[in-house]
Amino acid sequence: MTKKRGVTREFMLGTIVLVFMVFLALTTGFGSKSGLFSMMLDVSPTIVGAIAMSLIILTGNIDISAGTILGFVGFVAAILAKAGFPIWIFVPAGLLTGMVLAGLNGWISVTFKVPTMVVTLAMNMVHIGFYVTFLPNAGWVLNLSDSFTFLGQGRFFGIVPYIFVIAIAVSALFMWIVKYTKFGKSLYAVGGNRQASIYAGINPDRTVILDFLVEGLLLGIAGILKATTANRLMPSVFQGREMIFIAAAVVGGFNILGGSGKILGAVYGALLVYLLSITMIYLGFQDYFQFALQGVIILIAVFITVTDFSSVRKRIRKVLAPRVAK
């Protein structure tokens, strides 16, 4: 006799996303060809960035500098494209930039035993200062050619952006990596119980550094996907994107303390956070309300994560039991 499986968090998230999309399609112009194209175009970098952040959260860490890393990725790719280098040069250069900057975060944290929250917050400020002080024109790159925007503005069948297909491919790849590879299993082990992972023969420090390198690769992809959607770029516009990635990850079911979560949940989380923002725009709310919404989403998700609901239920039963007896 087979045991019935309960409804998963991912199924519930997928259902909510579908309901939101149907609601917006029926009440706004969201369901039009241009509306769907805009949705896929805008959410693609967020999906990849959410996966990157999810891998870091999985080990019990965080990266507050993810947004500014995207800025550097975009700047390096754009300045090389402006100089006439082809796509097979500026794209790998952008990916390498992401890996170097994120890998540096991991190395500093592991080597000097500093929490990643502190390291990445400090690096976030360093990046911002570097933009203003050392980059020409604060990093502005204008009048980028079609050879740069080809990836971000191209579409299949006139509606599906190239970058959306890339985001879905990355999602599928990392669903497999996290579930079936030794690297993926080591992330869960380190985030779930660091000491137990050592007993299992896993090197937590090496795993964390490798995790940050992989995050950097994914942030490189996300940065390229976002940067190539326009013919101009300014690194500072990426500031704050890490909050969207964190919101998507925790809404998607990743435990902020590490050790649990599924990549599919992060994908649905990215879609849901985007749809909530779009809904607020259609309702006429200003941008700062969207930032407030992201903060509320993170707080609720963290509350759900850290609350032991089984103990809460036991306490409620103890309070109610005497009354029921009467």
Q: Is the pLDDT of residue 2 over 50?
A: no
191 membership: H or E segment, kind and range: helix 182-192
pLDDT at 108: 98
Contact 30, 186 (CB under 8 A): no
Q: Tens digits of per-residue pLDDT, 168-203?
A: 999 999 999 999 999 999 999 999 999 999 999 999
Q: Tens digits of per-residue pLDDT, 106-139?
A: 999 999 999 999 999 999 999 999 988 889 888 8
Mean pLDDT of 315-325: 58
| Rg for the chain, CA atoms, rounded | 21
Confirm whether pTM is higher than 0.85.
yes
Average pLDDT, the chain: 89
What percent of the chain shows pLDDT beyond 70?
A: 88
Among the residue ranges 139-153, 176-190, 253-267, 286-300, the one predicted with the least confidence is 286-300
Who contacts 162 (Cβ-Cβ below 8 Å, separation ≥6)?
151, 152, 154, 155, 156
Q: What residues does 156 pair with on adjacent strands?
A: 160
What number of other Cβ atoms are within 10 A of residue 194's Cβ? Answer: 18
- What domains sit in the chain, N to C, each tagged with a CATH number? 32-325 (1.10.3470)
Who contacts 237 (Cβ-Cβ below 8 Å, separation ≥6)?
71
Q: Tens digits of per-residue pLDDT, 255-279?
A: 988 999 999 999 999 999 999 888 8
Q: Is the pLDDT of residue 321 over 80?
A: no
Q: What residues does 233 pair with on adjacent strands?
A: 141
Helices (H), 28-115: 33-58, 66-82, 87-112
Q: Is the pLDDT of residue 309 over 50?
A: no
CA distance 10 to 156: 28
Residue with tokens 């300045």, as numbered in its chain: 79
Closest CA to 190 of 178, 203, 177: 203
Closest CA to 97 of 153, 139, 55: 139
What number of other Cβ atoms are within 10 A of residue 285's Cβ? Answer: 14
- The CA-based angle 252-53-179, given to 5 degrees, is 65
Q: Is the pLDDT of residue 308 over 60?
A: no
Contact 204, 198 (CB under 8 A): yes
Closest CA to 34 of 142, 159, 148: 159
Q: Is the pLDDT of residue 3 over 80?
A: no
Q: Tens digits of per-residue pLDDT, 27-71?
A: 887 888 888 999 999 999 999 999 999 999 999 999 999 999 999
- The CA-based angle 312-243-76, given to 5 degrees, is 155
Q: Is the pLDDT of residue 302 over 70?
A: no
